Structure 1
Amino acid sequence: MLALPAEPASVSVARHWTTDLLTRWGVSADDLDAAALVVSELAANTVRYGHAEMTIRLLQQADRLYLCVTDSGVPLTAHRLVIPQELAEHGRGLAIVEALAESIEVTREPEGWRVGAVLRVTTAGKPTAQSAADLTGR
């Protein structure tokens, strides 16, 4: 598990943390890139919509990688689109996640949002017990 402030610099931190962890787990390069992109998009959404902090969790079970990004806190500022959606530079993140993921779930939580995605992955080995414990925070 990784907790970060919902700030632009945190997107890069989240991506690097994901890449480092999945490299240790032996996830294939293509799957690692897809997972890093999914985490980046979900973290960027948390930053874009202004919640105070985000929590990122990854869990690998067999050939499935479960990714979850939760935002929490009160939005720092109100947001509103001022240009037509078809011309917007933003707003494609969840479409990218849906294209890469086997499934996706968006849930409203009492203090924010939780977005989970499942990716099918190939690994050379299994995650270590220590890495799995790091994910669950236990």
Structure 2
Amino acid sequence: MGDVRDLRSAASARRRDAQTLAGELVVQAERSAPRVVRHWVMRTIADAGVGGSSNQVVELLTAELVSNAVVHGPEAGEVRVEVRIDAESVRVGVRDTGGGRPTVGHPEPTAPSGRGLALVEALSSDWGIQTHADGKTVWFEVRTHED
């Protein structure tokens, strides 16, 4: 289903007390992708010691962004997910080769969809969209501790 690339190449980066951990997963843009990515991200951040409500927020927002990439990206495309964990936060970026620029929607209460980016905006510490010649990356950050 997915191609996991562990970016923690240096021995010091593999230790639990390392400053920054990073990983990447590439999956096909299909219905099962959000579930596969969500489970991978949850294992990755749990292994880094991130728990509690931060863990749950990252899980929800990751699933939303991957779902958007699958629904709005090209059929049979790839979705690339990057996770970066440091002492302050978790950053997740979801890249696809779809066109257009996502916007925050405010659908009617009875609408069946359209709330994903509104959730990202409301629950993340920061978020944004980075455009590329071949698509875009939508990313968010969640702080892992209170100041």
Task: Provide the secondary structure at the position in 2 that maps to 1:26.
Answer: coil
Query: Is the 1:53–1:73 contact (alpha carbons within 8 Å) kept by the matching residues of 2?
Result: no
Task: Provide the secondary structure at the position in 2 that maps to 1:8.
Answer: coil
- Which residue is equivalent to 2:56? 33
Q: What is the TM-score when the length of structure 2 is the normalising length?
A: 0.71
More helix by share: 1
Alignment RMSD: 1.8
Larger RCO, structures 1/2 (Cα 8 Å, 6+ apart): 1
Q: CA deviation at 1:92?
A: 0.6
Task: Provide the secondary structure at the position in 1 that maps to 2:32.
Answer: helix
Q: CA deviation at 1:113?
A: 1.6
Identity, % of aligned positions = 30
Pick closer, same or farther for the CA change 1:27–1:46 going to 2, 3 Å: same
Structure 1: which 4+ aligned runs deviate by more than 2 Å? 85-88
Q: Which 5+ residue runs of structure 1 have no aligned equivalent?
A: 75-84, 123-138
Residue 109 in 1 paired to residue 132 in 2? yes
Q: CA deviation at 1:73?
A: 6.0
Q: Work out the CA distance in 1 between the residues paired with 2:60 and 2:33.
A: 14
Q: Which 5+ residue runs of structure 2 have no aligned equivalent?
A: 1-23, 100-106
Task: Provide the secondary structure at the position in 1 that maps to 2:141.
Answer: strand
- Which residue is equivalent to 1:96? 119
Q: Work out the CA distance in 2 between the residues paired with 1:73 and 1:30.
A: 31
Q: Work out the CA distance in 1 between the residues paired with 2:53 and 2:89.
A: 14
Q: Where in structure 2 are the equivalents of 1:1-138 lying within 5 Å?
A: 1-51=24-74, 52-72=77-97, 85-86=107-108, 87-122=110-145
